[in-house]
A = this chain, B = another copy of it.
Amino acid sequence: MASLKKVVLAYSGGLDTSVIAKWLQETYNCEVVTFTADLGQGEEVEPARAKAKAMGIKEIYIEDLREEFVRDYVFPMFRANTIYEGEYLLGTSIARPLIAKRLVEIANETGADAISHGATGKGNDQVRFELGAYALKPGIKVIAPWREWDLNSREKLMTYCEQHNIPVDYAKQKTKSPYSMDANLLHISYEGGILEDPWQEAEEGMWRWSVSPEAAPDTPTYVTLTYKQGDVVAIDGVDMSPATVLEHLNKVGGANGIGRLDIVENRYVGMKSRGCYETPGGTILLKAHRAIESLTLDREVAHLKDAMMPRYAEMIYNGYWWSPERQMLQTAIDESQQVVNGEVRVKLYKGNVSIAGRRSDDSLFDDKIATFEDDAGAYNQQDAEGFIKLNALRMRIAAGKGRKLR
């Protein structure tokens, strides 16, 4: 077992990471630094301070990272219209690199030689935390208690708490959700419980951030998003910071029953898992971003982006945000966004996001050419004949030589 001096722990303030904090102190006889971040998960982070203090932690980091999270991680990802496996908006994946970066930076500040986290050995999050940490600080040690210890049942954890005077809120434990959840400004996720049977429909009571489409208002809500270089900078004419944009869209989206998703996904560690997600704001952002791009992006640039996207999504899902290949693709994606400016009007209604309009000073839509009416010579229809003839030439030659298509 490695000898450690000091370890920075990604600390939620909850029971599991409290046990980890104690277990690290005891097992490695080392100092623990806690790091608790507000990424918009919707829970107070300040209570983590008292809990950490109670365990004798001396260095306690509690930070509001919401703006950085949306500005430097969520928005760049949405510039690529990123979706994993045709459905998933990567809400969990995109938060991990920021946490990894802060863990490493705090390790540097506090002279810690290790980091630790509460992710299990079966999931993607361990990979995302650790790849990020290794990429940013190659000599760092990583302690992943769930892969090491034998506290692998709720009972053992409880016993450990009793033995080590970790206060357990038994009332809360009893009403504990049967789901494993993760939340940040972009989404909340649910796994486990009855979801482990992919034939079972998720219960209405599970969802937390959105009303059901059935319960949403009977009249639509219209929202206008202003884009600048691919990012939303204002809503309904009011300038907003990145985090405020997402908070606002989450609220209005959730109120209209938008952004629920129920999928089976392929984890990087090799298994399929079933997850449910609520991503109200993100669902609106994806639809609206495609709409503003449809007006402003060159066709071939748009198609190149579509061709790159699955690989880009894979990088983020698999934990390679902090990698030279992700940065290389990001450079190309960002380059394409210089012209992605303008306004998109979306209609939100009972789970639906529809585009009601889009306009832009950088529009490439040319009504003089596109019109079904007389175009006054803007487009020469005769050109089409040569265009078709030469595009057909290779196939005409092949067919002329007897080559068959099926």
Contacts and interface: CB of A to CB of B under 8 A. Distances in A.
Contact of A399 (B85, B135, B367): B135
A349 B351 contact: yes
Interface stretch (A34-42, A137-145, A225-233, A240-248): A137-145
Contact of A357 (B199, B371, B375): B199
Contacts of A363: 198, 401
Nearest to A393: B270
A350 to B, nearest CB: 5
A10 to B, nearest CB: 16
A169 to B, nearest CB: 21
Contacts of A191: 372
A14 B25 CA distance: 51
Nearest to A356: B201
A245 B374 CA distance: 41
A127 B270 contact: no
Interface string A223-265: 0000000000000000000000000000000000000101111
Given A138-B399, A374-B153, A385-B383, A365 B290 contact: no
Contact of A395 (B131, B365, B392): B131
Contact of A405 (B136, B291, B395): B136
Interface in A91-138: 120-122, 126-127, 130-131, 134-138
Nearest to A257: B352
B295 A264 contact: yes
Contact of A270 (B139, B147, B328, B394): B394
A50 interface: no
A391 B384 contact: no
B328 A359 contact: no
B301 A325 contact: yes
Interface stretch (A1-9, A16-24, A58-66, A332-340): A332-340
A392 B135 contact: yes
A298 interface: yes
A201 B357 contact: yes
Contacts of A201: 345, 347, 356-357
Contacts of A375: 122
Copies of this chain assembled into the complex: 4
Nearest to A266: B299
A205 interface: no
Contacts of A349: 213-214, 350-351
Contact of A138 (B146, B192, B400): B400
Contacts of A290: 85-87
Nearest to A128: B388
A397 interface: yes
Residue of A180, A196, A327, A385 ringed by the most chain B CB atoms within 10 A: A385
Contact of A365 (B153, B264, B347): B264
B384 A380 contact: no
A271 B359 contact: no
A355 interface: yes
A77 to B, nearest CB: 15
A198 B135 contact: no
A256 B58 CA distance: 59
Contacts of A339: 403
Nearest to A331: B335
Contacts of A300: 320, 323-325, 394
Given A136-B399, A269-B387, A380-B389, 6 more contacts: A85-B302, A264-B294, A300-B324, A301-B324, A301-B325, A327-B335
